[in-house]
Structure 1
Amino acid sequence: MATIRLGDVSPNFTAQSTEGIINFHDWLGDGWGILFSHPADYTPVCTTELGTVAKYKAEFDKRNVKVVALSVDGLESHKGWINDINETQNTTVNFPIIADEDRKVSELYDMIHPNADDKLTVRSVFVIGPDKKVKLIITYPASTGRNFDELLRVIDSLQLTAYRKLATPANWKSGEDCVISPSVTNAEIPELFPKGYREIKPYLRMTPQPD
């Protein structure tokens, strides 16, 4: 089984979901995507996570990001779990959940870690760009709920830096100053970053976030 690394093309697959059959690359279209996995249905931490994702849908839509969840349980189980999520989290699940009973997708994305559990998926997150390449991978333990504010922050950074010669510093949030890539010469800065810049060190130059 191949390990997926940053920059790899995300493996394509066709699978059953709570919103019908999904061909992953076709479903993503020309936008961004998040694929995230859950060990099983009716798990407490994941119930809170799926409820949170439903509440964040407008934020993901604003960034042209589609979200899809996955667990190794079947469609009927998913549908019952969605009822619980909607009830306990005071929301409506508004994204598909893949039924991966044959673990085909889990194996494809290396989500079964035998040292953690040889039957259930670990809690992985993959952010995928419009070029279908993997931009971010995070794997969480079962006991720690995911931080979706952090995922939005990372997507803001990825979308900003994908097309500009910029990086984002520690704890950066959208609207704050950015780091100019070392490949940019000082002579190129006025054209690329007309808002100007501060040179802290020759290798550390800050510029306001472009519009």
Structure 2
Amino acid sequence: MEEQIISMPRIGDMAPDFEAVTTTGKIKFSEYNKGSWVVFFSHPADFTPVCTTEMSGFALEKDFFANHNTKLMGLSIDSIHSHIAWVNAVNEKTGVLFEFPIVADISMEVSKKYGMLQPGESETAAVRAVFIMDPKGKVRLIMYYPLNVGRNMAEIKRSLLALQTSDEYSVAMPLDWQPGDKVIVSAPKTVEELAERKKSNLEMVDWYLAKKSI
């Protein structure tokens, strides 16, 4: 049996553009993404328990994302009518409203562009993918979860802040970095830079591993 090759964007690629019907109207992704970060995530199906907890989690964090210049967008292989009914049902039962757009991807066109369909897991439902795009439309981070494991909202938020901090200060983040922790400074690339590094006030584990507060 011939192995099926899954097409998906990679970190550093420009996010695949698309136009789609969503719960907030028709959207062209490149326009939606322009000038802001986007967290684009897929879920297997409407009216399912794990997905309801996840989508509610994103909805409850809307102020956090808005305060960090980040838009949200969901997707599943369901109709717009199913999406609207689900949004309404969750709002009526829990008081949580999904205000971000949810893409209706009945044709699976967008799911295929983003590698959200993985036949080994399911041929009819998108896996739990998370893509973080920067304001220039570039894919900066990708996470995949199986159908039966919900995502970690704290890690999604932490990763977004790490990316934004790295861009702003041209630094890297160590293991388990949290906002306020020290960051890693790039290693010297010349003997002259090494000499300057040794005279600096940086916290040095070794010449190639130095940290600072920002």
| TM-score, scaled relative to structure 1 | 0.91
Matching residue of 1:50 = 55
Instruction: Give distance in 2, aligned partners of 1:101 and 1:155.
Output: 29
Q: Is residue 2:117 matched to residue 1:112?
A: yes
The amino acid of 2:177's aligned partner reads: W
Q: Which 4+ residue blocks in structure 1 deviate beyond 4 angstroms?
A: 186-189
Q: Is residue 2:174 matched to residue 1:140?
A: no
Matching residue of 1:23 = 28
Instruction: Give distance in 2, aligned partners of 1:58 and 1:29.
Output: 19
Give % identity.
37
Instruction: Give distance in 2, aligned partners of 1:91 and 1:77.
Output: 17
Instruction: Give distance in 2, aligned partners of 1:186 and 1:165.
Output: 18
Matching residue of 2:177 = 172
1:168 positional shift: 0.7
Q: How does 1:167-206 map to 2 (within 5 A)?
A: 167-183=172-188, 185=193, 196-206=201-211
List gaps (5 residues or longer) in structure 2: 1-5
Q: How many residues align?
A: 205
Q: Is residue 2:162 matched to residue 1:150?
A: no
Matching residue of 2:80 = 75
Contact 1:112/1:122 (<8 A) preserved: yes
Contact 2:34/2:137 (<8 A) preserved: no
Match of 1:59 among 64, 77, 80: 64
Post-superposition CA distance 1:6-37 (Å, at most 9, x none): 10100000000000000001011211001100
Matching residue of 1:124 = 129
Match of 1:41 among 35, 46, 57: 46
Q: How does 1:96-107 map to 2 (within 5 A)?
A: 96-107=101-112
Match of 1:85 among 90, 93, 100: 90
Instruction: Give distance in 1, aligned partners of 2:181 and 2:51.
Output: 32
List gaps (5 residues or longer) in structure 1: none
RMSD (Å), alpha carbons: 1.8
1:174 positional shift: 0.6
User: Cα 1:68–1:77, aligned 2, differ >3 Å: closer, same or farther?
Assistant: same
Instruction: Give distance in 1, aligned partners of 2:195 and 2:54.
Output: 47
The amino acid of 1:69's aligned partner reads: G
**Range 80-89 or range 32-41, more displaced:** 80-89
1:84 positional shift: 2.5
The amino acid of 1:59's aligned partner reads: F
User: Cα 1:31–1:187, aligned 2, differ >3 Å: closer, same or farther?
Assistant: farther
Contact 1:48/1:85 (<8 A) preserved: no
| TM-score, scaled relative to structure 2 | 0.90
Post-superposition CA distance 1:53-96 (Å, at most 9, x none): 11100000111000000011011100111122224443221211
